């Protein structure tokens, strides 16, 4: 199903529209096993499931989409036989958003304010600013990026009418835009440090860099 193509290893079990017109999708993880949180060993002895958790995902046809999932838990045979809830790559723990939705929030912050994004995406101000904060100076998984073509460096205004800006770096390749990083400020030094952190083989794939702020 295309709409969840950016969420690997899940299957839709049930879908309904709630009274507010939001789509609620109950999904299951088709991935088996996880790593023990205590000893790090790969484990696959199932030991029940966690509570239902819900993440907001990308809208479909203007409707908000929420994914409900009970993640499997696995038991290890190391000291104390601890259980570990499966870790899935497509969400950020405790954020309430899938990574795809977080990316969307960050992209809509470009040349906008957090307050405006909160209204536009129907998310609270605190949650939007939480997404920005969490992504500041986060290390980039360069291995997942094949080429960059066009780099965009834009500003995010943290407060309306305030001169407090962070910078957001995006990469565009084959018409796909992705957020590469959120920088703590937009000074020359910070931007330069970030650009130098791009691995050489990717850096040479960059054809244009756009700075969209003064």
Asked whether position 49 contacts Zn ion by CB under 5 A, the answer is no
Q: Which is nearer to Zn ion, 78 or 209 (CB)?
A: 78
3-state helix, strand, coil in the chain (%, to 5): 25, 40, 35
- In the chain the first and final C-alpha atoms are separated, in Å, by 43
Residue 90 in contact with residue 100, Cβ under 8 Å? yes
CB 87 to Zn ion: min, Å: 14
Q: Which is nearer to Zn ion, 39 or 204 (CB)?
A: 39
Separation CA 165–CA 61 (nearest Å): 32
> 3-state DSSP call for residue 149?
strand
Asked whether position 38 contacts Zn ion by CB under 5 A, the answer is yes
172-201 residues in contact with Zn ion (CB under 5 A) are none
Separation CA 194–CA 139 (nearest Å): 10
Q: Which of 10, 25, 27, 36 binds Zn ion (CB under 5 A)?
A: 36
Interacting stretch for Zn ion, rule CB under 5 A, among 8-16, 69-77, 97-105, 144-152?
A: 69-77
Asked whether position 60 contacts Zn ion by CB under 5 A, the answer is no
Q: Helices then strands (H, E): number in the chain?
A: 5, 11
CB 41 to Zn ion: min, Å: 5
* Interface residues toward Zn ion, by CB under 5 A: 36, 38-39, 76, 78
């Amino acid at each position: 199903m295309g709409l969840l193509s950016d969420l690997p290893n899940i299957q839709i079990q049930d879908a309904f529209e709630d009274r507010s017109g939001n789509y609620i999708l109950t999904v299951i993880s088709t991935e088996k096993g996880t790593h023990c949180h205590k000893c790090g060993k790969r484990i696959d002895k199932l030991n029940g499931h966690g509570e239902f958790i819900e993440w907001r995902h990308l809208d479909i046809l203007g409707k908000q989409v929420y994914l409900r999932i009970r993640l499997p838990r696995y038991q290890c045979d190391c000291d104390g036989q601890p259980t570990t809830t499966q870790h899935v790559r497509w969400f950020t723990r405790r954020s309430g958003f899938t990574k795809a939705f977080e990316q969307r929030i960050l992209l809509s912050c470009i040349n906008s304010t957090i307050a405006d994004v909160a209204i536009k995406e129907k998310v609270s101000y605190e949650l939007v600013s939480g997404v920005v904060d969490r992504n500041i100076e986060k290390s980039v998984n360069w291995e997942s990026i094949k080429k960059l073509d066009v780099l965009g460096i834009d500003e995010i205004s943290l407060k309306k009418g305030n001169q407090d800006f962070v910078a957001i770096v995006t990469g565009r390749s084959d018409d796909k835009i992705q957020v590469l990083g959120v920088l703590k400020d937009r000074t020359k030094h910070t931007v330069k440090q970030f650009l130098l952190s791009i691995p050489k083989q990717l850096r040479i794939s960059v054809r244009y860099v756009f700075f969209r702020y003064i």
